[in-house]
Structure 1
Amino acid sequence: MIRRIAFALLATASIPMILHAPAAHAVAAPASLIQMDHISVQVIGKGSPVILIPGLSSPRAVWDGVAPELAKTHTVYLVQVNGFGGDAPGGNLGQAILPGMVADLHRLVTEQRIAGAAVVGHSMGGLLALMLTQAHPGDVGRALIVDALPFVGSAFVPGSTVATVKPQAEAMRVQMAGLYGKPLPEAVGQAIARQNALKPASQAQVAAWMAKADMRVSGQALFEDMQVDLRPQLKDIATPVTVIVPWSPERGGETVTLDFYKREYAGTAKLALTGVGDSGHFVMLDQPDAFRAALTAWLAG
């Protein structure tokens, strides 16, 4: 189980494990940039709306492999959390970062008049997509969750709760914030890369670009991520939810991994799981063709 391994390492190591990391370069010049308190959004293309939300410490460039092609037939809203990708932290130096992001996303949908948009989120971005769907059902027509859980603590310790993982979450917040303003130790970057991607090129990207994130924002966002448990609310989400689940033989295999996700998403009214083999957490880096095909098929409905 990919995340279980990552969180187990994080619990026992003296270095912080960051769940998500940036990808390569910016997409083609955006038509516009919307700056908000907790996020910024680049808008490209024209057509039915698609919102792409990256994960913890990741910039919008994580979607470089799919965004330009999507923009040919969709209006693509490329989200980036303030403080990631080298951006200033803006309103993300306080607390309640995740609720602030959800509020900004709702404002984006309202002001752009794109209610019912297709929303894609990777990891923490997937949790944000679920939170937006739960809080504002009309905002999201359908959600594609890329390797995210409604309660990430389940991957940390099976049977855990928000309360039981809080001490570890607080410790990780302190560790990560302590890295702010310092060069990222090479061992930290390499450990994070190995736990989040399988392919050498993917690992190189993870290790290289994660250093651009403001560790104060990453630490607080990770703490809040670990303090959210949406499982009791899943039964109330009527929006169709598809989850892309990466798996590999050395990290549990397909059956074990998919069964774990089925249990964690139990009660979701309209749930579909799509497995992608030979992949780590960054599916779009490890298996770009398979990810592009899954996204295209999902958008085609």
Structure 2
Amino acid sequence: MKKYIILIIAFLFSALCLNVFAQTKQYPFEVIKTGKGKQSIIFIPGFASSGEVWNDTKRVFEKDFTCYTLTMSGFAGVKPQPNPSFENWKNEIAAYIKDNKIEKPILVGHSMGGGLALAIAADYPELIGKIVVVDALPCLAALSDPSFKSKENNDCTATVNKMTGMNETQFYDMQKQMMPRLLQDQSKLETVVSWSVKSDRNTFGQMYCDFYNTDLRAKIAQIKCPSLVLLESYFINLKPAIEGQYKNLKVANFQYATNGLHFIMYDDTAWYMGQLNNFIKA
């Protein structure tokens, strides 16, 4: 009898430990969960952006879907974690899906978030139901250098030092000058700049360098789920190069925005929402 009591105590202790682990596990992102639908959508923002970039989008879908909106650690005021990397973020989003038993979610990712959606769907093809890639490429560096090859053990020290070496005014001015190349809607400009300014500079530099060194052109051949790729209007001029990068993604539907820049959800909202509705609700 004593042996059975000891076994029961050991079992209860193990269950308690597992429960505590589940409650305290730290993922490299914050999550806001809304909606109560059976099908789930996971929204992944782009580089240095807040999950708030999806606010207007998720309002439309949370009536019928359970929505998980991420903001990555170190971006837009979220507490940073040490040693951020694209690979780690990819694996941890997949771990979150498994740990929370989210059945075949739809991933919607913008910019670097679109890259993460591609990488997750490639490395975990049985985990994902559909993906929507909003203005992202499998290999950003290859747009200017088609022969680009990513470096193993890439040293990002110089990029990190450049970002952390700026004072607040210099960094703000850099973002203010750069953002109009990415965003046409002037009413959103200060909001998007503020997300960058609130970001941890070490994370900013490390992830900029790491993502620029990422090449998913071969890996996307492993993606099995239906995929919608929404691209900014200018990219129609680079269609052969863009779709050449995506040639291994056999399940993709490519659509080019009618106007605007990188933040398609702000610059061509009606077209963007129509594309998402048709694809997600199909």
TM-score for the superposition, normalised by structure 1: 0.79
Decide whether the 8 Å contact of 2:32 with 2:68 is kept in 1: yes
* Structure 1 residue identity aligned to 2:187: A
Q: How far off its partner does 1:157 sit?
A: 3.1
Pick from 50, 70, 94 the counterpart of residue 83 of structure 2.
94
Matches within 5 A, 1:143-222: 143-163=131-151, 171-179=158-166, 182-222=168-208
Gaps of 5+ in 2: 1-22
Task: Give aligned pairs, total.
Answer: 258
Q: How far off its partner does 1:160 sit?
A: 2.3
1:71 corresponds in structure 2 to 62
Q: How far off its partner does 1:42 sit?
A: 1.0
Pick from 16, 20, 37 the counterpart of residue 27 of structure 2.
37
Q: How far off its partner does 1:201 sit?
A: 2.2
Matches within 5 A, 1:152-301: 152-163=140-151, 171-179=158-166, 182-248=168-234, 254=236, 256-301=237-282
Measured in 1, the distance between the counterparts of 2:187 and 2:83 equals 35
Decide whether the 8 Å contact of 1:65 with 1:288 is kept in 2: no
Q: How far off its partner does 1:289 sit?
A: 1.9
Gaps of 5+ in 1: 1-32
Residues 55-112 of structure 1: CA deviation (Å, up to 9, x unaligned): 11001001011112211110000011011121111x2x315x2222122211221122
Cα 1:173/1:64, change in 2 over 3 Å? same
Indicate whether 1:84 and 2:65 are aligned.
Answer: no
Measured in 2, the distance between the counterparts of 1:243 and 1:159 equals 23
Measured in 1, the distance between the counterparts of 2:141 and 2:158 equals 14
Q: How far off its partner does 1:227 sit?
A: 1.9
* Structure 1 residue identity aligned to 2:83: G
Cα 1:163/1:94, change in 2 over 3 Å? closer
The structure with more radius of gyration: 2
SS of structure 2 residue aligned to 1:137: coil
Measured in 1, the distance between the counterparts of 2:186 and 2:219 equals 38
Q: How far off its partner does 1:205 sit?
A: 3.0
2:115 corresponds in structure 1 to 127
Cα 1:120/1:34, change in 2 over 3 Å? farther
* Structure 1 residue identity aligned to 2:67: V
Cα 1:34/1:53, change in 2 over 3 Å? farther
SS of structure 1 residue aligned to 2:79: coil
SS of structure 2 residue aligned to 1:101: helix
Measured in 2, the distance between the counterparts of 1:216 and 1:101 equals 16
SS of structure 2 residue aligned to 1:258: helix
Residues 8-60 of structure 1: CA deviation (Å, up to 9, x unaligned): xxxxxxxxxxxxxxxxxxxxxxxxx9973311211100111000000110010
1:113 corresponds in structure 2 to 101
Quote the RMSD (CA, aligned, Å). Answer: 2.3
Pick from 17, 23, 44 the counterpart of residue 53 of structure 1.
44
Identity %: 22
TM-score for the superposition, normalised by structure 2: 0.84
Q: How far off its partner does 1:266 sit?
A: 0.6
Measured in 1, the distance between the counterparts of 2:188 and 2:143 equals 22
Decide whether the 8 Å contact of 2:36 with 2:62 is kept in 1: yes
Measured in 1, the distance between the counterparts of 2:200 and 2:68 equals 22
Decide whether the 8 Å contact of 2:30 with 2:78 is kept in 1: no
Cα 1:183/1:88, change in 2 over 3 Å? farther
1:23 corresponds in structure 2 to none
